[in-house]
Amino acid sequence: MLTNFDLNLLVVFHVLLEERSVTRTGERLGRTQSAISNSLKRLRDRFEDPLLVRTPDGLSPTPRAAELAPLVARIVQDVNICVTPKADFDPASAQASFSIGAPDRFSLPVFLPLLKHLGKVAPGIVVNLRTTDRDYATRLIEDGEIDLAVGWIDGTPPHLKSSFAYEDQFVCLCRRDHPLLAETERPSVDDILKYSHLVVSSTSDRRAAFDAVLAEHGVKRTIAATLMSFTIVPELLLESDLIGVFTHRASEYFASRYALATVPVPLEVAPIANHLIWHCRFEEDQAHAWLRQQIEMAFTGKMRAPEKPRRRK
C-alpha cells in the first residue's frame, strides 16, 4: 500500500489538523495555497471522506479525521526522529551499554583504571567485561554478543575492523626471595624451566601462548596449575616456588603491589601486538569510537577528561 501512497500527504494532513486553515498550512510548510488544496483533495480521495469541512471557525475535522489524527501525529513525529541528524556524542550525558571481550591479564592494569575514569567522565555508560581468548572474541563479535574485543588477535576477517593498542613482552613473575633469583641475576631458559609453572588461560587450557614459543625452541615446561583468572596468582606465587610467565603489563602490576619480582625471559620472542577489534557496523558510531579511544588511552596511561562536543554547523 505504501508504494502507492505519498507520505508527504500525511505531513500536510497533520498541519491542517493543527492550523485548521489552508492558508496558514501553506505558510507553515512553505507551499502555495493551491498546492495545499490539491493535497487535501488527494487525501479526501484516498480516505474516501471529506476529512476537513468549512465552518465559521475554520476547517473542522470529520469523525474519520478525528480518528486518524493521533495516528498521523505519531507517524510524523517518528519520521522526524528518524530523519533528524543525530546529536554529537556527549560522554557526560550519554546513556549507553557496551560489552567488551578481553583476556584477564588486562583486567587490573588496564580496565580497572579505565572503569574508574569512565565513572568520572561518563557516568551513564555501562561496561560489561567478558573474559575471552583470541578465537572466542572474534566469534562473539560476529554473533553480536560483544561490541569490541582487545587482545593478541591475528587474521581478522574483512568485516571486522582493528586498531593497534600496544606491544607487550613475556616476563617471569616470582617472589622476590625465589631460589631462581638467588642462583643468578640473569636466569637462562634452563634455569626457568627447572621450576613448575603457573598458567592463566581463559579457556582453562593447560597451554598458553608461551608454550607455543617454547615449542618453537624444542622445549616445554612443567605446569603445576592452570587458572582462568589472575585473582589468586599473587598469593600462589608468594607462598610457593612456582613461576609465572605472563605479559609485562600484568606482571608489573603485581610486582608493584606485592613482594614479587619480574625476570626477563631469555628467548628471542617477537613483541605481542595487542589490537582492538570491532564489527564494521560500529565504524561510524560516535559512542563506540569514543570508547575505543578511551581504551587505547588506558593502555598508554594517558586518559583525560573529554572535550566539550562541538556544535554542528
Residue with more model confidence, 291 or 137: 291
> How many beta carbons lie within 10 A of that of residue 3, not counting itself?
4
Domains of the chain with bracketed CATH: 2-83 (1.10.10.10), 96-159+280-300 (3.40.190.10), 170-264 (3.40.190.10)
| 114-147: b (≥16 Cβ within 10 Å) or e | beebbeeebeebebebebbbbebbbebbeeeebb
Which of 238, 298, 291 lies closest to 106 in space, CA to CA?
A: 298
| pLDDT > 70 in the chain, percent | 94
Q: What is the pLDDT of residues 6-18, one digit of tens each?
A: 889 999 999 999 9
Where does the pLDDT of residue 313 fall: very low under 50, low under 70, confident under 90, or very high at 90 and above?
Answer: very low
pTM of the model: 0.71
Q: Greater confidence, 128 or 1? A: 128
Identify whether the C-beta of residue 138 lies closer than 8 Å to the C-beta of residue 283. Answer: no
User: What pLDDT was estimated at residue 36?
Assistant: 93
Judge whether 198 and 172 are in contact, CB under 8 Å: no
pLDDT band at 312 (very low <50, low <70, confident <90, very high): very low
Backbone φ, ψ for residue 38 (5° rounding): -65, -40
> What's the one-letter identity of residue 59?
L
Per-residue model confidence as pLDDT tens digits over 203-233? 666 678 888 889 988 999 999 999 989 999 9
Quick one: pLDDT at residue 234?
96
Nearest partner of 39 among 1, 76, 11, 20, judged by Cα: 11
In whole angstroms, what is the distance from residue 86 CA to residue 106 CA?
A: 33
Q: Can you give the pLDDT at residue 176?
A: 95
Gap between the Cα atoms of 56 and 177, Å rounded: 99
Phi, psi of 137 (to 5 degrees): -60, -45
Residue 180 has φ and ψ, to the nearest 5°, of -60, -40
Higher-pLDDT residue of 96, 133: 96
Q: What is the pLDDT of residue 223?
A: 94
pLDDT value for 259: 96
Query: Which of the residue ranges 47-61, 99-113, 197-211 would you say has the lowest mean pLDDT?
Result: 197-211
List, for residues 16-25, the tens digit of each pLDDT value: 999 999 999 9
Residue 174 burial (10 A CB sphere; 0-12, 13-18, 19+): buried
Rounded average pLDDT over 238-253:
94
